[in-house]
Amino acid sequence: MKEKLVVIGNGMAGMRTVEELLKINPELYDITVFGDEPYGNYNRILLSPVLAGEKTIDDIMLNTMDWYEENNIKLHAGKRVSEINRIARTVTASDGLVEEYDRLLIATGSKPFMIPIPGHDKEGVIAFRDIKDVDIMLEATRNYKHATIIGGGLLGLEAANGMMQHGMKVTVVHLSDTLMERQMDSVSGKMLRNSLEEKGMDFRMEAQTAEITGNGRVTGINFADGTSLETDLVVMAVGIRPNIELAQQAGLHCERGIVVNDTLQTYDPKIYSVGECVQHRGDTYGLVAPLFEMAKVCANHLAQMGIGLYQGSVTSTKLKVTGIDLFSAGDFTGDDTTEELVIQDAGSGLYKKLVIKNNCLIGAVLYGDTKEGAWYFQLMRSAQDISDIRDKLLFGESHLGDSGHGGDHIADMSDETEVCGCNGVCKGDIVKAITTEGLFSLDEVRAHTKASASCGSCTGLVEQILESTLGSDYETPESKPLCLCTDHPHEEVREAIRKQKLTSIKAVRRALNWKTEDGCPACRMSLNYYVQSAWHNEAQDDPQSRFINERAHANIQKDGKYSVIPRMWGGMTTPDELRAIADAAEKYEIRDVHLTGGQRIGLYGVEKAVLPKIWKDLNDAGMVSGHAYGKAMRTVKTCVGKQWCRFGTQNSTELGIKLEELTWASWMPHKFKLAVSGCPRNCAEATIKDFGVVCVDSGYELHIGGNGGIKVRATDLLCNVTTEEEVMEYCAAFIQFYREDAHYLERTAPWVERIGLSRIEDVVVKDEAKRSHYAKRFHEAQKISQIDPWKERSTNGVAAHEFTSIKVINA
Amino acid sequence: MSNWIEVGQLEEIPQQGSRVVKTKGFDIAIFRTINDEVFAIKDACPHKQGQLSQGIVHGKKVTCPLHNWTISLESGEALGHDEGCTNVFTARVEKGLISIDLG
Ligand SMILES: Cc1cc2nc3c(=O)[nH]c(=O)nc-3n(C[C@H](O)[C@H](O)[C@H](O)COP(=O)(O)OP(=O)(O)OC[C@H]3O[C@@H](n4cnc5c(N)ncnc54)[C@H](O)[C@@H]3O)c2cc1C
Ligand code: SF4
Ligand code: SF4
Ligand code: FES
């Protein structure tokens, strides 16, 4: 018999947990949900736009009644649980209904705090929390004239704005002298107040409410200073209190909230809790992003995968008032140890303040223009060193030159604009999926639309579309986990591999508590690379965790046939090589012979079983694999340089050959291309390569981080050197640092932008000891790596099973 | 009707790997999972006929090498939000010998 899971609270955190659970293991439990409110689960955040008349209740339903039925979930909508019996393992609803549980999830959210002043219980004094409250407010806009909101925080201002949209006169009463003082400094708070006043909102700042007056229904407010105000409706928006009574009655340990550990368990291990009702490591939360993170971890434990920890969240806020753009995150006040970058332009209503500590961004307040908010937030959470971009930081990501995604024009972008070239997904498709399917995260958009699910180069754009469609509901990933099988980001995984000396994929999965038994393609390929790049002497390659091209040492084509591209050192060839290629092409009836962009010759349309034979013929003529199929060093493109060209300054071809001999057969996080040009005319296009050399009279310019692919990026000049030996040493060190630092599938261009040129200079240029350390490690690894994989297979019988069928049936 | 045909030994297929059985009309991919379960499905992805035998095998699933669709080895169906299905054949292993039922 299935175990029984009972959920108390049919809100955003509880249902997200159930959804996550169904994703991992839909069969594990019989699920029963109690919800005090008589509906399915709706998006509470969007009550503000509903109040403002911009959305309807139907628009904001996340899980309709049908959804519960389709997923075999028993929903008791409109039933309040009044008792938990931990010994009998039952819950009882206020109408007497009893359900048994094996595991219980408490997701009761929070209650709005009502200031207990005289008169707070009169008719017409309400909170702003649920659909019922919105109904009362909308009703009031039809029958009354004047509403007062107590509390000038996020919620209060959204309520005030909503009521004002219906033509009501609205006064906001606030205790302090700055609106939203928990999210804003005094400058931006003042700007906000000015814009709201322009819209017609009234304020009573630094005012303390003493009493609510009226006979049965509210008619006015008296303040502590003796003044008073007439009003027909009072909305209290002064804060929330975790809803813990039920848990307290059941004897669960509670402080401000229900105390949970990193696996979201209460003091009774059968009972879990998520959402605003919990207190985790001393913090309670009132925004959805952290609650969704909790939901993910909790679901994992409920699914008995037993891994993943919730370790707290950094949060950011945006105000959902149309026409007002405001963003705030982190520590925006700062102190003696912090620095501030500020732009203020009162005339155009712009204000930006960034707080910096130890070269990291730790807080931000944006007013008037918030499109960079997501980027700043990302910088904060990843604690990235910003010294390289400091001078441009205030102007935003799009001012970083090539590095931006150019996505600050999301709003202007037409629905037909193609966002994901790989899967042909347009902006309109993504927006539609987000709104109709109720998506919140990048992974969800990927699963539903396939946008950014393939090459990933449009990830930034998709994130920005999410951000612009959802506003503040968008969960900015902390630092992104390596894949869905783990919560650990790349850096943590690599550190564990180094520190704990993990030399196989299996060992990593075990040490880091992977959520899936044998991983997914994304983590398998990454881990296979990571263990080998850290422990090249000891780690074993796992062919089954390589993409087919790297397993078969040839590129799979769309019809299942393969291509064969032998290496041509430095782009040079000989009549003998050309003859051998021509012979092979004829012998194996090659359909297409093509000159590649990397200065070599490709043979297309080879059956897999024929690969070892054709390799043998090419090997016999002295040729080896060109690794044109791998996340590996590909080619060194050269020009003829000093040997022939009248402008040539150095022997670029010979240097190219030497570099290729140094680097061939090295595995990389992604493909890696080199080039050497004989003079600054740069015929070998060295400035769009991962490592490019431009020869000059005085020696060699070394360029890094170029890319001629989906997004073109010109290289950064790393340094000048004077001898070929130095070129080789710097090249080896640069490659090894890239191999050990970049994420798998991260090309040098985005990597350089992510970690900053100065860090690379520190390692490769400025510090001789580091340079020689990395160069040495590269040489060691190459000793093991430089074996021709074609010869291994064509002559030495390695992996024979890869190229033959197990059985041929002629019937 | 069943039509069991022996195709080879379990050891001939790497764990988390696949080998192909060629028949007159089409190819069948035989998969071996990390737990030595064996599955047989037509070697053609429901998307654009990619050779599933060349994909990465994880859990009881394979990810197609051409455009990353993930196909269930048990049902032959595309998982996630992709739609499509390829033929499944019953497979069994007896004393290390794999047979499939061509029906
Ligand atoms: C107007 C408004 C605007 C907001 N805007 C934002 C925003 O822009 N960004 C953001 O991140 N967050 C925002 N929030 C906060 C966000 O909505 C909450 O953090 C989130 O909904 C909390 O989720 P939860 O599941 O913990 O609680 P809820 O969603 O409140 O769910 C708890 C549910 O449990 C039910 N329940 C309680 N006790 C019992 C019981 N004994 N038996 C049965 N059922 C019970 C309640 O009726 C409720 O339905 C906003 C909130 C409001 C009200
Ligand atoms: S890069 Fe300079 S040296 Fe090389 S071919 Fe061009 S002009 Fe000649
Ligand atoms: S540009 Fe590259 S990926 Fe695109 S079709 Fe041509 S070969 Fe294929
Ligand atoms: S053919 Fe399999 S995913 Fe396209």
Q: Map residue A162 onto helix, strand or coil.
A: helix
| A484 near B CB under 8 A | no
Chain B interface, best mutation among A434, A544, A557, by max B CB count within 10 A = A544
| A87 near B CB under 8 A | no
Find chain A residues with C-beta within 8 A of B78's C-beta.
Answer: none
SS (H, E, C) A664-726: CCCECCCCEEEEEECCCCCCCCHHHCCEEEEEECCEEEEEECCECCCCCECCEEEEEECCHHH
Maximum C-alpha span of chain B: 38
Q: What residues contact residue A314 under an 8 Å CB cut-off, 6+ apart?
A: A329, A330, A377, A380, A381, A478
pLDDT at A721 over 80: yes
A25-45 core/surface letters (b: 16 or more CB in 10 A; e: else): eeebbbbbbbbbbebbbbbbb
Please give the tally of structural domains in chain B. Answer: 1
Q: Which of A449, A454, A806 is facing B12, going by the closest CB pair?
A: A806
Tokens of A624: 């080896």
Residue A129: what pLDDT?
A: 95
- Shortest Cα–Cα distance, A554 to chain B (Å): 12
CB contact under 8 A, B66 and A556: yes
Residue A757 CA to ligand 2 center (angstroms) comes to 27
* Residue of chain A minimizing CA distance to B52: A560
- For residue range A464-511, what is the model confidence (pLDDT) as tens digits? 888 777 765 555 545 678 888 998 999 999 999 999 999 999 999 999
Does this chain's domain A3-109+242-302 share its CATH topology with A125-238? yes
- Partnered with residue A339 across adjacent β-strands are A356
Q: Higher confidence at residue A103 or residue A438?
A: A103
A261 φ, ψ (degrees, to nearest 5): -95, -170
Closest CA to A220 of A116, A142, A124, A153: A124
| Ligand 2 site, residue A640, Cβ cutoff 6 A | yes
- For residue range A334-384, what is the model confidence (pLDDT) as tens digits? 888 889 888 888 777 889 999 999 999 999 999 888 777 777 887 887 788
Chain A interface, best mutation among B19, B30, B54, B83, by max A CB count within 10 A = B54
Residue A728 parent element (H or E):
helix A724-741
Minimum mean pLDDT among A313-322, A416-425, A497-506: which range?
A: A416-425
The residue-averaged pLDDT of A112-138 equals 94
CB neighbours (10 Å) of residue A724?
A: 17
Residue A406: what pLDDT?
A: 40
| Ligand 1 site, residue A111, Cβ cutoff 6 A | no
One DSSP character per residue, A220-252 reads EEEETTS-EEE-SEEEE-S-EEE--HHHHHTT-
Chain A to chain B Cβ contacts (< 8 Å): 88
Chain A interface, best mutation among B4, B13, B48, B81, by max A CB count within 10 A = B81
Residue A713: what pLDDT?
A: 92
pLDDT at A440 over 60: yes
Give how far Cα A351 sits from Cα of A151, A185, A213, A326, A398, Å: 24, 11, 40, 9, 18
pLDDT at A770 over 90: yes
Query: ipTM of this predicted complex?
Result: 0.95
Residue B73 is part of which domain span?
4-101
Amino acid at A76: H
| Ligand 2 site, residue A681, Cβ cutoff 6 A | yes
Question: Given this structure, which CATH class describes domain A125-238?
Answer: alpha beta
Find chain B residues with C-beta within 8 A of A807's C-beta.
Answer: 7-8, 21-22
CB contact under 8 A, B8 and A806: yes
What is the spatial distance between Cα A311 and Cα A300, in angstroms, rounded to a whole number?
15
A142-179 core/surface letters (b: 16 or more CB in 10 A; e: else): eebebbbbbbbbbbbbbbbbbbbbbebbbbbbbeeebb
Q: Higher confidence at residue A133 or residue A421?
A: A133
Query: Which atom of ligand 4 is the closest one to the Cα of B68?
Result: 3
Residue A409: what pLDDT?
A: 60
A296-311 core/surface letters (b: 16 or more CB in 10 A; e: else): bbbbbbbbebebbebe
The residue-averaged pLDDT of A276-289 equals 91
| B16 near A CB under 8 A | yes
- For residue range A452-465, what is the model confidence (pLDDT) as tens digits? 765 555 777 788 88
- Shortest Cα–Cα distance, B2 to chain A (Å): 15
What is the spatial distance between Cα B18 and Cα B34, in angstroms, rounded to a whole number?
11
Question: How many Cα atoms within 13 Å fall on the side-chain side of residue A712?
Answer: 6
Mutate to test the pocket of ligand 2, among A637, A681, A682 (most ligand atoms within 8 A of CB): A681
Q: Where are the domains of chain A?
A: 3-109+242-302, 125-238, 316-399, 410-470, 490-546, 549-625, 633-785
What is the spatial distance between Cα B56 and Cα A21, in angstroms, rounded to a whole number?
25
- The architecture that CATH gives domain A633-785 is 2-Layer Sandwich (3.30)
Residue A403: what pLDDT?
A: 37
CATH code matching the domain that covers A316-399, chosen among 3.40.50.300, 3.30.390.30, 3.40.50.620, 3.10.450.50: 3.30.390.30
What is the spatial distance between Cα A758 and Cα A730, in angstroms, rounded to a whole number?
15
Give how far Cα A303 sits from Cα of A52, A298, A460, Å: 40, 9, 31
- For residue range B31-77, what is the model confidence (pLDDT) as tens digits? 999 999 999 999 999 989 999 999 999 999 999 999 889 999 999 99
Q: Map residue A768 onto helix, strand or coil.
A: helix
CB contact at 8 A, B34 and B45? no
What is the spatial distance between Cα A347 and Cα A341, in angstroms, rounded to a whole number?
19
CB contact at 8 A, A46 and A20? no
Q: What residues contact residue A332 under an 8 Å CB cut-off, 6+ apart?
A: A183, A184, A185, A353, A355, A363, A364, A365
Residue A591 CA to ligand 3 center (angstroms) comes to 18
Tell me the percentage of chain A whose pLDDT exceeds 70: 95
Closest CA to A339 of A364, A360, A357, A363: A357
What is the spatial distance between Cα A596 and Cα A590, in angstroms, rounded to a whole number?
16
Mutate to test the pocket of ligand 2, among A652, A685, A694 (most ligand atoms within 8 A of CB): A652
Q: Which of A519, A560, A806 is facing B7, going by the closest CB pair?
A: A806
Q: How many whole angstroms from its chain centre is CA A740? A: 22
pLDDT at A743 over 50: yes
CB contact under 8 A, A801 and B8: no
pLDDT at A430 over 60: yes
Task: Quote the CATH superfamily of domain A549-625.
Answer: Sulfite Reductase Hemoprotein;Domain 2 (3.90.480.10)
pLDDT at A199 over 80: yes
What is the spatial distance between Cα A368 and Cα A350, in angstroms, rounded to a whole number?
5
Find chain B residues with C-beta within 8 A of A524's C-beta.
Answer: 56, 58
Tokens of A442: 């990048």
- Shortest Cα–Cα distance, B17 to chain A (Å): 6
Residue B33 CA to ligand 4 center (angstroms) comes to 21
Instruction: Note the ligand closest to the C-alpha atom of A455.
Output: 3
What is the spatial distance between Cα B102 and Cα B87, in angstroms, rounded to a whole number?
11
What is the spatial distance between Cα A14 and Cα A11, in angstroms, rounded to a whole number?
6
What is the spatial distance between Cα A278 and Cα A282, in angstroms, rounded to a whole number?
10
Residue B63 CA to ligand 3 center (angstroms) comes to 21
Q: What residues contact residue B81 under an 8 Å CB cut-off, 6+ apart?
A: A447, A448, A449, A450
Q: Residues enclosing ligand 4, CB less than 6 A?
A: B 45, 47-50, 64, 66-69
CB contact under 8 A, A808 and B22: yes
* Residue of chain A minimizing CA distance to B23: A809
Residue A46: what pLDDT?
A: 85
Q: What residues contact residue A503 under an 8 Å CB cut-off, 6+ apart?
A: A531, A535, A538, A539, A540
User: Of how many residues is chain B composed?
Assistant: 103
pLDDT at A811 over 70: no
pLDDT at A238 over 60: yes
Residue A350: what pLDDT?
A: 87
What is the spatial distance between Cα A747 and Cα A71, in angstroms, rounded to a whole number?
42
Residue A445: what pLDDT?
A: 85
pLDDT at A402 over 50: no
- Shortest Cα–Cα distance, B10 to chain A (Å): 11
pLDDT at A405 over 80: no
Q: Map residue A339 onto helix, strand or coil.
A: strand
One DSSP character per residue, A167-212 reads T-EEEEE-SSSSTTTTT--HHHHHHHHHHHHHHT-EEETT--EEEE
- Partnered with residue A563 across adjacent β-strands are A555, A604
Tokens of A374: 């997501």
Tell me the percentage of chain A whose pLDDT exceeds 90: 68
pLDDT at A272 over 50: yes
CATH code of residue B51: 2.102.10.10
CATH code matching the domain that covers A410-470, chosen among 3.40.630.40, 1.10.10.1100, 3.40.50.1460, 3.30.450.90: 1.10.10.1100
- For residue range A8-54, what is the model confidence (pLDDT) as tens digits? 999 999 999 999 999 888 999 999 999 999 999 998 988 988 998 88
Q: Hunting for tokens 């989906």 — which residue is that?
A: A710
Residue A399: what pLDDT?
A: 59
pLDDT at A443 over 70: yes
Q: What residues contact residue A597 under an 8 Å CB cut-off, 6+ apart?
A: none
- For residue range B22-41, what is the model confidence (pLDDT) as tens digits? 998 899 999 999 999 999 99
The answer regarding whether domain A3-109+242-302 maps to CATH 3.50.50.60 reads yes
- Shortest Cα–Cα distance, B57 to chain A (Å): 8
User: Of how many residues is chain A composed?
Assistant: 811
Query: Which atom of ligand 2 is the closest one to the Cα of A682?
Result: 1
| Ligand 2 site, residue A645, Cβ cutoff 6 A | yes
pLDDT at A432 over 90: no
Find chain A residues with C-beta within 8 A of B19's C-beta.
Answer: 801, 805-806
Give how far Cα A376 sits from Cα of A291, A330, A360, A383, Å: 21, 10, 11, 10
| Ligand 1 site, residue A297, Cβ cutoff 6 A | no
